[in-house]
Amino acid sequence: MSGKLSIDLDGRDPASLHSGDTRGFAARKRNRHGRGRRGPMIMAPLPGARTRSERFEDLIVESAERLADRWGDRVTSIDFRIMLVPNAKVLARAQAAGTRVPWATNRSARPGRPDRITLYRRPIEEACVRGPELLPELVHMSIVEQLADLWAMDPQSIDPEYGVWGTGPND
């Protein structure tokens, strides 16, 4: 893989997600009243030490790397974004079309801007009603569908394993 994957959280730099205090939560060992946690509750290598959003980001990276093995720079040049929920404009479009809340959207490249795929974390997590073990498959399925839309191809040609899980929204 020759390119570098780009993942953005809610369209903002991860360092700017903290309002007011410029230090991250991990850097602030105590709150402003001198109380609060003194250190990590769980050791870093254990699975519970990562937040839900960090685990979701890991799933996107795994999926993109898997597709990059097959498609190379076509995938690594894409700007992947993560937003908690779709904005009002996207929701209004889905309502007007009479479709469900989208799991992801895409935007074609423009001069000076690469293709973009935006995944919406909460709708994808909510779709995992059968169990959280389906989350990696739904994330990958969402990315493949958006690539198929961007490249005007069949999802099966993007990833031959697409659709073999039987975890579609109507199942």
Cα angle: 78, vertex 94, 54; to 5 degrees: 45
22 — pLDDT class (breaks 50, 70, 90): low
Does residue 135 or residue 32 have the better pLDDT?
A: 135
115 — pLDDT class (breaks 50, 70, 90): very high
Does residue 3 or residue 2 have the better pLDDT?
A: 3
Does residue 97 or residue 11 have the better pLDDT?
A: 97
| 52 to 56, 57, 70, 103, 121: CA distances (angstroms) | 6, 9, 28, 17, 9
Q: Which of 164, 165, 143 is nearest to 67 (CA)?
A: 143
> Mean pLDDT in the chain?
82
Does the structure show a pLDDT above 80 at 126? yes
Q: Which of 131, 143, 137, 147 is nearest to 168 (CA)?
A: 137
Judged by phi (left if over 0) then psi (alpha if -120 to 50, else beta), residue 131 lies in left
User: Considering the chain, what percentage of its residues have pLDDT values greater than 70?
Assistant: 70
User: Whole-angstrom Cα distance, residue 12 to residue 142?
Assistant: 22
Does the structure show a pLDDT above 90 at 21? no
Q: Which of 167, 161, 164 is nearest to 135 (CA)?
A: 167
pLDDT of residue 169: 47
Give me 11's structure tokens: 């369209």
11 — pLDDT class (breaks 50, 70, 90): low
pLDDT of residue 130: 80
pLDDT tens profile 39-85: 666 777 776 777 888 899 999 999 999 999 999 999 999 999 999 99
As beta bridge partners, residue 65 has: none
Average pLDDT over residues 110-126: 95
Q: What is the CATH number of domain 6-158?
A: 3.30.2010.20
User: Whole-angstrom Cα distance, residue 123 to residue 15?
Assistant: 25
